[in-house]
Amino acid sequence: MNTKRWAILLLLPLFVLGAGCVAGENQSPLSDPLDSAPVEYPDGEWGGFLFGEAAQWPDYIPDDIPPLPGTIDTIMPAGSHIRMFYSGVSDEMIEEYLELLAQEGFDLEYRILIQEGFPDNSEERRQRGEYDDIVITKGVYRMTLSHYEGSATYDVYTSGFEEEAREANALKWPEELEGILPPPERCELASISPDGNEGYHISCKRENGNVDQDYLELLLSSGFQIEEAVLIGENEVSIHRLRHEDLVVELSYLFEQFFTFRVLVDPLPEWPVVFGDRVPVPARCELANLIPTLDDKDFHVTCEPADTEVLPDYVQVLEELGFIESHRWENNVGELMLIDLENDQLAVSIMVNSPTSLGIQVSEKE
Same domain, 55 and 100: yes
Contact 307, 283 (CB under 8 A): no
C-alpha 364, offset from chain centre: 40
What is the full DSSP assignment across 61-79?
A: S-TTSPPPPSEEEEEEE-S
Query: Which domain CATH number covers 305?
Result: 3.30.160
Separation between Cα atoms, residue 54 and residue 16, nearest integer Å: 30
Residue 49, pLDDT above cutoff 90: no
Domain end, chosen from 168, 186, 220, is at 168
Average the pLDDT over each of 87-101, 181-195, 264-278, 288-302 and give the range with the smallest value.
Answer: 288-302
Q: What is the extent of the structural domain holding 235?
A: 175-265
Tell me, what's the pLDDT at 36?
33
Count of domains for the chain: 3
Separation between Cα atoms, residue 236 and residue 3, nearest integer Å: 67
Distances (CA, A) of 160 to 63, 64, 137, 166, 169: 12, 11, 12, 12, 16
Same domain, 124 and 92: yes
Tell me, what's the pLDDT at 12?
44
Same domain, 179 and 163: no
Domain end, chosen from 136, 152, 168, is at 168
Kindly list the strands in the beta sheet with 71-77, ordered across the sheet, starting from the edge strand earlier in the chain: 5-11, 107-115, 133-138, 141-148, 151-157, 81-87, 71-77, 49-51, 44-46
Same domain, 302 and 360: yes
Same domain, 94 and 37: yes
Domain end, chosen from 107, 139, 168, is at 168
Convert the pLDDT of each residue in 249-260 to its tens digit: 999 999 989 999
Buried b (16+ CB within 10 A) or exposed e, 205-237: ebeeeebbeebbeebeeeebeeeeeeeeeeeee
Q: What is the CA angle 79-110-57, rounded to 5?
A: 40
Pick from 213, 166, 225, 164: nearest CA to 187: 213
Residue 45's pLDDT band, with cuts at 50, 70 and 90, is: low
3-state SS, residue 190: strand
Same domain, 107 and 188: no
Residue 309's pLDDT band, with cuts at 50, 70 and 90, is: very high
Same domain, 183 and 219: yes
Q: Looking at the chain, how many residues does it have? A: 366
Contact 205, 188 (CB under 8 A): yes
Same domain, 59 and 155: yes
Alpha helices in the chain (DSSP H): 91-103, 122-127, 162-168, 211-221, 310-320
Pick from 216, 222, 210, 228: nearest CA to 304: 228
Residue 168's pLDDT band, with cuts at 50, 70 and 90, is: confident
Convert the pLDDT of each residue in 110-135 to its tens digit: 998 887 777 888 788 888 888 889 99
Which residues are CB-neighbours of 304 under 8 A, at least 6 positions away?
Answer: 285, 286, 288, 356, 357, 358
3-state SS, residue 276: coil
Phi-psi region of 139 (alpha: psi -120 to 50; beta: other; left: phi over 0): left
Same domain, 62 and 142: yes
Half-sphere exposure of 74 (CA within 13 A, CB side): 14
Convert the pLDDT of each residue in 324-354 to its tens digit: 999 999 999 999 999 999 999 999 999 999 9
Same domain, 243 and 156: no
Tell me, what's the pLDDT at 11?
53
Separation between Cα atoms, residue 129 and residue 163, nearest integer Å: 38
Tell me, what's the pLDDT at 33?
30
Same domain, 214 and 164: no
For residue 333, count other CB atoms closer than 10 A to its CB. Answer: 5
Same domain, 194 and 163: no
Distances (CA, A) of 138 to 4, 144, 211, 257: 16, 12, 45, 39
